[in-house]
Chains A and B, each alone.
Chain A
């Protein structure tokens, strides 16, 4: 039977031909990659029908689409492959996958479809990793990953907002580590989905509730071990941005040995397990208490050192004072001695000076007395010579004589006598009487006149 048979074909005949052609055209299975769509709503059906599509890089417009089916018999195979990849992801809408498929034509629907045989998880992982790196770069550039690290971490983080599944293993590990410390932690737990499609939204909501509540020292996001599946929900831009906006530090405890999530990167710090996250808080409080003890020791030491220093200085000052006082006293003593010496010497000197002055006056008195006597006797001698000169006896001895009238009157001029008068002339050794003969009245020399 050929395609060009003149006979008219029925639809089933035609579809049978198409199926044969396709089967010949795709004798082997092919690897096909694309983005899953329509999977989630069918995931619980025995045979899962969905689409794989290719989008334009810029506009994200779908440029090609094809239907796929995972038959119930293949589900186990695919799950086994994913389990070998540590359940890093599961099949869901919007992820890029690489399937090994048989190209098939289903005659009842007249539709080409791919029968999924297997999956290459490394492709998806690579895509996820790529996407994650792109997101990290973007958030880093925006400062989103550093914002929460800039929040000051309280010295004593005792009031804790806990984001985890209430009463889960993670919750119990975390709380028992805290209560084992004996410190007064207060935990406010927001029961939160930590896996699955709704985890991202729930975590964001929990963060926002704690942001609104306030009064917390720190917020902890943690989840337990178990399946690594759905870890990718923490590679979330929304969670990272909400953490960045938190006023208190956020500690994450969702990390995995080999996989650090974007939530971890955006947090103030991250830990591998809930226990480790709790321990970091216990250590913080313990460190503060130890620091307090050390500080109080330091304070005591410093205070003691200060007191000792002051004491030393005081002692030194006392010594200095003593020395200064001693020198001052010594100086004063010397001064006093000097004054004393002056006191003993000066009055005696004064007394001796006074004695000398009196002595000098004694001498002055006697010398003045001598001078006085000398002058007095000289004056007396002078008087005597004058008197002797004036004595009439002495004059008579020199040849002068006195002539008296008989009545004794001394004759001083010629008028006193007349011729015939008797006069007596007195000489030094006697006298004689004579008679006046002539009187001559004329001026004579004094000597003559007396004669």
Chain B
């Protein structure tokens, strides 16, 4: 889970949601999968936040340097 890429995470997330929607999933497995989905969502969110933060930092530094 540590080194998973954002796009791969989204892919896995979509797969879990699809399986739940299609009721392909076993009830015994459900909580595990939901837990995994929630963790993926959290991972994506943190990746996005991190990216946004970094972008802002870079752009701010650039604009400061320019002015």
Show the binding face of A for B, using Cβ within 8 Å: 340, 343-344, 347-348, 351-352, 354-355, 357-358, 361-362, 364-365, 368-369, 371-372, 375-376
Contacts and interface: CB of A to CB of B under 8 A. Distances in A.
B17 A364 contact: yes
Contact of B51 (A351, A362, A376): A351
A355 B45 CA distance: 6
Most B CB within 10 A of own CB, among A344, A361, A371: A361
Given A340-B62, A365-B41, 15 more contacts: A340-B63, A343-B59, A343-B62, A347-B51, A352-B52, A354-B44, A354-B51, A355-B52, A361-B14, A365-B16, A365-B37, A368-B17, A371-B21, A372-B20, A375-B23
B4 interface: no
Interface in B1-50: 6, 10, 13-14, 16-17, 20-21, 23, 25, 27, 30, 34, 37-38, 41, 44-45, 48
A202 B48 CA distance: 126
B34 A369 contact: yes
Given A354-B44, A355-B45, A365-B34, A344 B59 contact: yes
10 contacts: A344-B63, A348-B56, A351-B55, A355-B48, A361-B10, A361-B41, A368-B17, A371-B21, A372-B23, A372-B25
Contacts of B63: 340, 344
Nearest to B41: A362
A354 B10 CA distance: 10
Contacts of B10: 357-358, 361
Interface residues of B, number: 27
Closest 5 pairs between A and B when the two form their complex, measured CB to CB: A368-B20, A351-B52, A358-B44, A347-B55, A344-B59
A237 to B, nearest CB: 104
A355 B10 CA distance: 11
Contacts of A354: 6, 44, 48, 51
Nearest to A370: B20
A358 B34 contact: no
B44 A365 contact: no
A368 B16 CA distance: 10
A361 B13 contact: yes
Most B CB within 10 A of own CB, among A344, A348, A368, A369: A368
A362 B39 CA distance: 11
Contacts of A351: 48, 51-52, 55
B8 to A, nearest CB: 14
A357 B41 CA distance: 10
A206 B4 CA distance: 124
Contacts of B56: 348
Contacts of B45: 355, 358
Contacts of B6: 354
A75 B38 CA distance: 164
Contacts of A352: 52
Contact of A376 (B27, B37, B38, B66): B27
Contacts of A365: 13, 16-17, 20, 34, 37-38, 41
Contacts of A340: 62-63, 66
A352 B52 CA distance: 8
Contacts of B17: 361, 364-365, 368
Nearest to B38: A365
B56 to A, nearest CB: 7
A344 B52 CA distance: 11
A362 B45 CA distance: 11
Nearest to B44: A358
A376 B66 CA distance: 61
B30 A372 contact: yes
A450 B32 CA distance: 51
A355 B51 CA distance: 11
B14 to A, nearest CB: 7
